[in-house]
């Protein structure tokens, strides 16, 4: 379980960066033994012996030392940073819709818990990738564009698939009141409801990356499209006004696929989503940062930033709709994207499980980590369903190291398999 340090405001955001240690590169011998041990619960004895021999042969070879040296050469700040970004995200070609983007739904009536730390500082580098950040589709491998420092004063508002540029910060950096922001949003709604609509171009961001990349490149050949794309790429974030209401049990799904993939721009680092019943959430493209980062920002803003209801009126430009010059090929691509997004969404099952029998406090009373408790519940459920263990990925934070993000915990282990087998073994009595 990750506990994030809620630093006092006297600490500047990046004041601890220079003191953070670098993410260590494990020794070859350690990697060799840990990898072999991780395979024990997954392979038969014969398969394990065969694979183990292959592993030992590799680690004795010159190639293993060469590859280890390459990792060491990458270690300017963090050896895993760019590898993780490219291999886990930017070279991943399937749609980011559902498969990559994270989401969060705001609790309607919740109290924000105080965050506490038991140990050291966390790397704040990912905060630089939150605002004015977009993923750019391209053939083969995508890229991320980040404005740091972010000087943008506008957001993009999407309503009924129409995308607007809306100023939310004054020309001189002035704070804008809630009332004036509401006026800006009402202007967008009125414009959309009283003017012809353009095709839902945001659907293209739900497509396979090698499909969307060439289409984006084609769009950029037209000046009007290039300006609109740049406006989106440079905006602080996207604000989605959804003209419908979801039931309580289904509303969380809307936060990560919008029912049909429309009214979104899934390449943006941050999308705030509000349904017409006031239910709200957030969706974000995963490559610039992990979901814990915007959660930290939102918690701090909700807990510490006063609502500006009486701020002086600021001279803001009226919102402007982004215009597009779409060829027949692009318009057909939008229709195809909608079909593909629909198939992807229909193939998804998602249910929120609310269990109130006991919680984290009871687990701690038993001197068990809540995270470890849940991981073993997952292992037991899978074993009961399929009669065998499987390779399991759990994200682990490396933010105590400079430019750290996440690494992988292999929670299926020799010990977890022994636990799942023992749990249903009638000859083994539970200890109290």
Domain spans of the chain? 22-75, 87-108+122-346, 353-432
Q: What is the model's pLDDT at position 4?
A: 43
> Does 115 have pLDDT greater than 50?
no
Which of 228, 101, 103 has its CA nearest to residue 163? 228
Q: What is the model's pLDDT at position 5?
A: 45
Q: How confident is the model at residue 104 (pLDDT cuts 50, 70, 90)?
A: low
Q: How far apart are CA 234 and CA 221, in angstroms?
A: 18
Catalytic positions: 286
Q: What is the model's pLDDT at position 218?
A: 96
State the number of CA atoms in the 13 A half-sphere of 295 facing the CB: 16
87-108+122-346 and 353-432 share one fold: yes
Q: What is the model's pLDDT at position 255?
A: 64
Give the model confidence (pLDDT) of 249-295 as tens digits. 666 666 666 788 899 999 998 899 998 888 888 888 888 777 777 77
Can you tell me the mean pLDDT for 97-126?
A: 56
Helix (H) or strand (E) holding 373: helix 370-386
Show the DSSP H helices in 305-368 as ranges.
328-346, 360-365
Which residue pairs from 117-121 have beta carbons closer than 8 angstroms and sit at least 24 positions apart in sequence? 117/3, 117/4, 117/5, 117/6, 118/3, 119/400, 120/5, 120/400, 121/5, 121/7, 121/16, 121/19, 121/20, 121/400
Q: What is the model's pLDDT at position 107?
A: 52
Q: What is the model's pLDDT at position 249?
A: 62
Give the model confidence (pLDDT) of 186-232 as tens digits. 999 999 988 999 999 999 999 999 999 999 999 999 999 999 999 99
Annotation: CATH topology of 353-432: Chloramphenicol Acetyltransferase (3.30.559)
Give the model confidence (pLDDT) of 47-83 as tens digits. 999 999 999 999 999 999 999 999 888 877 888 887 7
pTM value is 0.75
**Residue predicted with more confidence, 320 or 102:** 320
Q: What is the model's pLDDT at position 372?
A: 93
Torsions phi, psi for 231 (to 5 deg): -60, -40
Homologous superfamily of 87-108+122-346: Choline/Carnitine o-acyltransferase, domain 2 (3.30.559.70)
Q: What is the model's pLDDT at position 252?
A: 64
Can you tell me the mean pLDDT for 17-21?
A: 79
> Does 86 have pLDDT greater than 50?
yes
Can you tell me the mean pLDDT for 395-400?
A: 82
Q: How far apart are CA 70 and CA 79, in angstroms?
A: 9
Q: What is the model's pLDDT at position 123?
A: 76
Give the model confidence (pLDDT) of 147-200 as tens digits. 888 889 999 999 999 999 999 999 988 888 889 999 999 999 999 988 999 999
Q: How far apart are CA 49 and CA 92, in angstroms?
A: 33
> Does 247 have pLDDT greater than 80?
no
Q: What is the model's pLDDT at position 1?
A: 34
- The proportion of the chain whose per-residue pLDDT surpasses 90, expressed as a percent, equals 49
Q: What is the model's pLDDT at position 7?
A: 43
Q: What is the model's pLDDT at position 116?
A: 33
C-beta atoms surrounding 352 within 10 Å: 11
Cα 67–Cα 69–Cα 72 angle in degrees, nearest 5: 115
Q: How confident is the model at residue 308 (pLDDT cuts 50, 70, 90)?
A: low
What's the chain's average pLDDT? 85
């Amino acid at each position: 379980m990750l506990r994030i340090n809620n630093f006092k405001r006297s600490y500047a955001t990046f004041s601890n960066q220079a003191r953070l240690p670098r993410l260590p590169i494990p020794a070859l011998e350690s990697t060799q033994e840990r990898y072999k041990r991780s395979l024990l619960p997954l392979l038969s004895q014969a398969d394990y012996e065969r694979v183990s021999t292959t592993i030992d042969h590799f680690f004795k070879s010159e190639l293993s030392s060469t590859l280890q040296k390459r990792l060491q050469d990458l270690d300017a700040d963090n050896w895993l940073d760019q590898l993780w970004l490219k291999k886990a995200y930017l070279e991943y070609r399937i749609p980011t819709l559902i498969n990559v983007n994270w989401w969060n739904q705001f609790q309607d009536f919740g109290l924000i818990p105080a965050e506490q730390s038991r140990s050291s500082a966390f790397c704040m580098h990912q905060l630089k990738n939150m605002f004015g950040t977009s993923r750019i589709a391209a053939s083969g491998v995508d890229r991320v564009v980040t404005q740091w420092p972010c000087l943008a004063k506008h957001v993009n508002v999407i309503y009924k698939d129409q995308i607007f540029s809306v100023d939310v910060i004054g020309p001189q950096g002035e704070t804008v009141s809630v009332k004036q922001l509401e006026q800006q949003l009402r202007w967008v709604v009125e414009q959309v409801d009283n003017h012809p609509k353009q095709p839902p171009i945001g659907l293209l961001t739900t497509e396979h990356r090698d499909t969307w990349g060439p289409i984006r490149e084609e769009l950029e050949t037209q000046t009007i499209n290039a300006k609109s794309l740049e406006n989106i790429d440079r905006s602080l974030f996207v604000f989605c006004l959804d003209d419908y209401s979801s039931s309580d049990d289904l509303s969380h799904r809307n936060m990560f696929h919008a029912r049909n993939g429309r009214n979104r721009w899934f390449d943006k680092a941050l999308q705030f989503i509000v349904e017409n019943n006031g239910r709200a959430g957030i969706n974000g493209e995963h490559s610039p940062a992990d979901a814990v980062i915007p959660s930290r920002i939102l918690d701090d803003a909700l807990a510490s930033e006063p609502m500006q209801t009486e701020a002086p009126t600021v001279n803001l430009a009226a919102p402007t709709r982004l215009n597009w010059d779409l060829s027949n090929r692009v318009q057909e691509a939008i229709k195809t994207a909608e079909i593909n997004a629909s198939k992807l969404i229909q193939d998804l099952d998602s249910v929120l499980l609310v269990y109130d029998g006991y919680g984290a406090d009871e687990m701690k009373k038993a001197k068990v980590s809540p995270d470890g408790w849940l991981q073993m519940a997952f292992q037991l459920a899978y074993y009961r369903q399929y009669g065998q263990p499987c390779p399991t990925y759990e994200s682990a934070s490396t933010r105590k190291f400079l430019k750290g993000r996440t690494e992988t915990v292999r929670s299926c282990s020799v010990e977890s398999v022994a636990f799942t087998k023992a749990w249903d073994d009638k000859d083994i009595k539970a200890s109290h």
